[in-house]
Amino acid sequence: MRRAIASVALGVALTAGLSAVPAQAATVAPAGSAILAGDSADIQSAVDEIRALVPDLESRAAAAGVPASDAVQVVRQLINPGDYDCPASTPLQDWLRGTLQGLNQQQLGAALTLLLLDVVTWDSRVNDPQDPAVYGPAGEFTIPVTHTFKDLRRFWDIDSNGVLLVPMHGSVMVDKARMTRVFQVVYGASAANAARLADLVAQLVRSVPQFNGGDFPLFTFNSYATSAEELGGRRIAMGDGVLAGYAAIGLGDVAPQAILAHEYGHQVQFADDLIGSETSPEASRRVELMADAFSAYFLSHARGAAMQTKRVTQFLGVYYNVGDCGFASLSHHGTPAQRQRTGEWAYSVADSARPQGFILPSPTFGRMFDAELPVLVAPDAS
């Protein structure tokens, strides 16, 4: 699963204070216990019971991402952070950190538990999308998202039949039927335990007013694409939180298109067998920057989104804001500068095309990107 945004959400949350919250002893609360809004003891009892029912939560969460490689491989292929210019933060990360202001330690612990369970992401993979499918906290991005999806299917030369576009809404955490199915399908819980976990998640969400019944940006600060071989099949998911975040920093006009085009770029990679089998920070960076390139080429192209210079500058800002400096991470996406350079390169390819209406075959564009990659990721520290 290529999760282009999720690692940013969890990483920012951890640096904002969640990493300081210890895992508590697994004291199981009575089955009928209630959780009162704002009561730290009851919040903790719910967290404890969830961790008792899912005792290997951290290891499960780690296993759900990019598989770990052995230490020797990581050390051998480690990207040297001293070679790259990497800002301490970006406007988007600052905004996300700001959503955590006012949460106490028990509430931060509750947020961490819900993030590790990742039930919103799993819901979007194993359950049918809610009808009607809308995008954004108030459905405000439904038109640009759905229209861009149609345009992407026409633009790229892959078989897009079976690629399902789905929203990610935090409100699903209070839907017992959907959550019960998640715990049964993903966590292998018994019917009784799955129903109890669904109740605990809903009660935990309702216990913290700031969580707003699940509609809290942290829980849906994600987008992803999955292949046919993965749980749920060929899907692209767009989270409310990440769309809201870009709108908050003034990029709501372009971010939905750019994010969706990046995730569709992963679908192109799956179809053209461009992912590769290597597991390393550098391999992840290549895959993510290539998806950026597919996105920027579509957004710039006369037969794609046909964005003009001002809009191109805006969508390059989208890439900049989701860059990361996790040089040792097996889900490294590239630094902000690398992502922006990749967008600029793809724009130049589209802009210099003659005739302007010609669309490069996706395998050809992928090969062109690989030839350019050493330039895009060259050390840039001053």
pLDDT, tens digit (0-9, with 9 covering 90-100), for 87-123: 888 898 899 999 998 988 889 989 999 999 999 999 9
Return the top range by mean pLDDT from 59-63, 129-133, 183-187, 375-379.
Answer: 183-187
pLDDT at 282: 87
Give the model's confidence band at 277: pLDDT under 50 very low, under 70 low, under 90 confident, else very high.
confident
pLDDT, tens digit (0-9, with 9 covering 90-100), for 215-231: 999 999 999 999 999 99
pLDDT greater at residue 47 or residue 382? 47
Please measure the distance between the N-terminal and C-terminal CA atoms of the chain and give it in whole angstroms.
35
Q: Rg for the chain (alpha carbons), in Å? A: 21
- pLDDT cut 90: percent of the chain above it: 55
pLDDT, tens digit (0-9, with 9 covering 90-100), for 195-214: 999 999 999 999 999 999 99
Listed residue (243, 378, 264) closest to 318, CA to CA: 243
pLDDT greater at residue 19 or residue 201? 201
pLDDT at 308: 85
Residues 6+ apart with CB under 8 A from 96: 8, 9, 12, 13, 217, 218, 221, 245
Residues 6+ apart with CB under 8 A from 11: 324, 326
* Average pLDDT of the residues in 166-171: 96
pLDDT at 30: 38
pLDDT greater at residue 332 or residue 142? 142
pLDDT at 16: 54
Helix ranges, 322-358 (H)? 336-351
* Average pLDDT of the residues in 36-46: 67
Domain residue extents for the chain: 6-376
